[in-house]
Amino acid sequence: MDKIVNLAKRRGFTFQSSEIYGGLASCWDYGPLGVELKRNVKNAWWRDMVQARDDIVGIDCSILMHPRVWEASGHLAGFSDPLVDCRACKARFRADHLASSQCPLKPSKTAGQFEKCDLTEARQFNLMFKTFMGPVEDTASVVYMRPETAQGIFVNFKNVQTTSRQKIPFGIAQIGKSFRNEITPGNFLFRTREFEQMEMEFFVKPGDDDHWFDYWTRTRLQWYVQYGIRADRLRLRPHAADELAHYAKGCADVEYNFPIGWSELEGIASRTDFDLRRHAEYSGKDLRHFDEESREHYFPFVIEPAAGADRATLAFLVDAYDEDVADGEPRTVLRLHPALAPIKAAVFPLLRKDGQPEKAAMVYDLLRAHFAVDYDQAGAIGRRYRRQDEVGTPFGITIDHQTMQDDTVTLRDRDTMEQIRLPIDRLVAELQQRLAAPRTR
Ligand code: GAP
């Protein structure tokens, strides 16, 4: 993880929030390359989950919602973690994570392992961030920063269905920020207090839920493989009955083998009709679906694949990180899937003379109309390749003396390091084809 964090900082993927003021713990800003990478992750999800399907539509809800939403959803009463304080060192731990939590005292031991450790009884701590709407800070004006994007989808179920004329089964997808006042955030982007979720609620006929749960667990696991994560570093872990959330009939996590061990990347939950029923009860509105064929009213059941955009970005970074030897020199390379890579191709004039920079600038302009591209003429060509390899740029295009004679360039592949020569006027089509080609590892 340290290598990933260092690379991310050094090359402008992420910076600590408010760094010049000493930083704000567990909050991260995405730099120029990071924002492209994370945007590509979200775009891939949106394209595959919404745009490429007839049965899912999108939504973008506000972060602040009516406080009754959180009563109905159960978050106000039950969205809490058990908190334990140490009277000796003043550290705070999640009671259910004691075995994997570090005590701040040295030599390093887990929480509660020193003789002088003095842990309190566990008490429940609600994870929702509270704030006030309007100028008066009283109980009547309390609102919460949403802890999940899902509830915006449930409360808009009727609005979306009637305006999009979708028929069951169909889904509503949303990408957006969520906030949780986590007791023990950490491990870089893995657990933060402000993060982005990519959630989809799929509404089905009661009785069809097991079929769709199976469908979505398989589909979501495969999605990560499709974008280059090695299949042997992914697994599905069904939840045991005592782990299930209050609303869930079943749940399976897509887990990734992070440097911190196997951990949740995405959860797929079978939520029954809990949410729509509760919102109908608390709002007094009829949220049942009318089935035209059977002429029945019913509350649809829900299957929910819920992913984290930051956690997925971290998994793609971790999985892509590699060190090997290129042209006799050690190199660091991010083997990112081309669809996710922040920069798709870099253009290099071999020499800074003989018209090569001008020709390279022309090629750069040609390509940037289609892709995110970079131009680099500084330093030896080998070093320029290394710089791009390290940030995952899949293709390098070099303009050399032959280009000046016959308008051909070399195209280098980041992973195989193979180079082919092709005419400039075939470059766009060749890159389009290579970027669209399936590429699993
Ligand atoms: N609506 C269901 C729900 O929110 P969740 O398992 O609590 O389920 C879904 O969250 C996903 O959101 C997780 O699998 C993870 O990828 C991401 N996530 C949750 N808490 C997070 C945190 N504190 N920091 C970063 N990502 C988080």
pLDDT in tens, 91-138: 888 888 888 888 888 888 888 888 889 999 988 889 999 999 999 998
The pLDDT, as a whole number, for residue 96 is: 86
The pLDDT, as a whole number, for residue 184 is: 86
Hey, is 120 helix, strand or coil? coil
Question: Measured in angstroms, how far is the CA atom of residue 235 from the centroid of ligand 1?
Answer: 17
The finding on whether 267 has its CB within 6 A of some atom of ligand 1 is yes
The pLDDT, as a whole number, for residue 68 is: 97
Which protein residue's CA is at the shortest distance from atom 20 of ligand 1? Answer: 191
Which protein residue's CA is at the shortest distance from atom 19 of ligand 1? Answer: 308
Of residues 300, 106, 91, 298, the one with CA closest to residue 209: 300
Q: Where are the alpha helices (DSSP H) in 343-419?
A: 356-368, 381-390, 401-406
Of residues 150, 141, 165, the one with CA closest to residue 278: 150
For tokens 């509830």, what's the residue?
151
The finding on whether 313 has its CB within 6 A of some atom of ligand 1 is no
Question: Measured in angstroms, how far is the CA atom of residue 163 from the centroid of ligand 1?
Answer: 29
Give the confidence band of 438 by pLDDT, cuts at 50, 70, 90.
confident
Angle at Cα 413 formed by Cα 415 and Cα 349, nearest 5°?
135
Q: What percent of the chain has a predicted confidence (pLDDT) above 70?
A: 100
Q: What is the pLDDT of residues 359-409, one digit of tens each?
A: 999 999 999 999 999 999 999 999 999 999 999 999 999 999 999 999 999
**How far apart, in whole angstroms, are the C-alpha atoms of residue 108 and residue 111?**
9
**What is the rounded average pLDDT for all residues in the chain?**
95
315 phi-psi bin (left φ>0, alpha ψ -120 to 50, beta other): alpha
Question: Measured in angstroms, how far is the CA atom of residue 325 from the centroid of ligand 1?
Answer: 37
DSSP H/E element including 222? helix 209-226
Whether 259 shows a pLDDT value over 90: the answer reads yes
Whether 81 shows a pLDDT value over 90: the answer reads no
**How far apart, in whole angstroms, are the C-alpha atoms of residue 213 and residue 303?**
6
